[in-house]
Chain A
Amino acid sequence: MTESLVSIRDLSIAYRGRGGTAQALREVNLDLYRDETLGLIGESGSGKTTLALAILRMLPPAAHVPQGQILYHQDGRAVDVLSLDAERLRRYRGEQVAMVFQSALSSLNPVLRIWDQFLDTARAHGETDQAKIRARTRDLLSHLQLEPERVLSAFPHELSGGMRQRVMLALALLLRPRVVVLDEPTTALDILTQRTIIDLLRSLRQEFGFSMMFISHDLSLAAELADRVATMYAGRIVEIGRTDELFYEPRHPYTVGLLQAVPTIHGDHRTLQSIPGSPPDLQRLPPGCPFHPRCPYARPACAEAEPDLLRISDGHRSACFFWDEVRGPDVGKIA
Chain B
Amino acid sequence: MRNYLTQRIARAVLTIFLVVSFTFFLIRLMPGNPIDLFVHEQVTTYGYTYEQALEQARGFFALDIDAPLSVQYAQYLGNLARGDLGQSILSPGTPVSSLIKKFLPWTLFSVGLALMISFVLGIGLGMLMAYRRESWIDHVLTVIATVTTAVPNYLIGILLLVLLGVQTNLINIASIRGSLSPGVRPGLTLTFLIDALYHAALPITTYVMATAGGWMLSMKSSTLGTLGEDYVGFARARGLPDSRIAVAYVGRNALLPLFTQLTIAIGFVVGGSALIEYIFNYQGIGLVLYESIVRRDYPVMQGVFLVITVSVVLANLLADLLYGRLDPRVDLTAEPV
| Chain A contact residues, CB within 8 Å of chain B | 56, 58, 90-95, 98-99, 101, 103, 106-112, 120-121, 124-125, 155, 157, 168, 171-172, 175
Contacts and interface: CB of A to CB of B under 8 A. Distances in A.
A110 B231 contact: yes
A117 B240 CA distance: 10
A108 B328 CA distance: 13
Interface in B233-278: 233-241, 244, 248-249, 252-253, 256
A157 B328 contact: yes
Given A58-B233, A157-B329, A168-B234, A109 B239 contact: no
B239 A93 contact: yes
A172 B238 contact: yes
Given A93-B239, A120-B240, A120-B244, A108 B234 contact: yes
A90 B244 CA distance: 13
A332 B84 CA distance: 89
Given A90-B239, A91-B239, A101 B253 contact: no
A95 B249 CA distance: 20
17 contacts: A58-B237, A92-B239, A93-B238, A101-B230, A101-B234, A101-B237, A106-B229, A107-B233, A108-B231, A109-B235, A110-B253, A110-B328, A110-B329, A120-B238, A121-B238, A121-B240, A124-B238
Interface residues of B, number: 22
B326 interface: yes
B41 interface: no
Residue of A108, A110, A168, A175 contacting most chain B CB atoms (<10 Å): A110
B51 interface: no
A112 B248 contact: yes
A96 B238 CA distance: 10
A102 to B, nearest CB: 8
A157 B252 CA distance: 16
A291 B292 CA distance: 82
A320 B219 CA distance: 53
Contacts of B236: 58, 93
A267 B236 CA distance: 45
B237 A124 contact: no
Given A108-B231, A108-B234, A109-B248, 15 more contacts: A58-B233, A58-B236, A92-B239, A93-B238, A95-B239, A101-B230, A101-B234, A106-B231, A109-B249, A110-B327, A110-B329, A111-B256, A124-B244, A172-B238, A175-B238
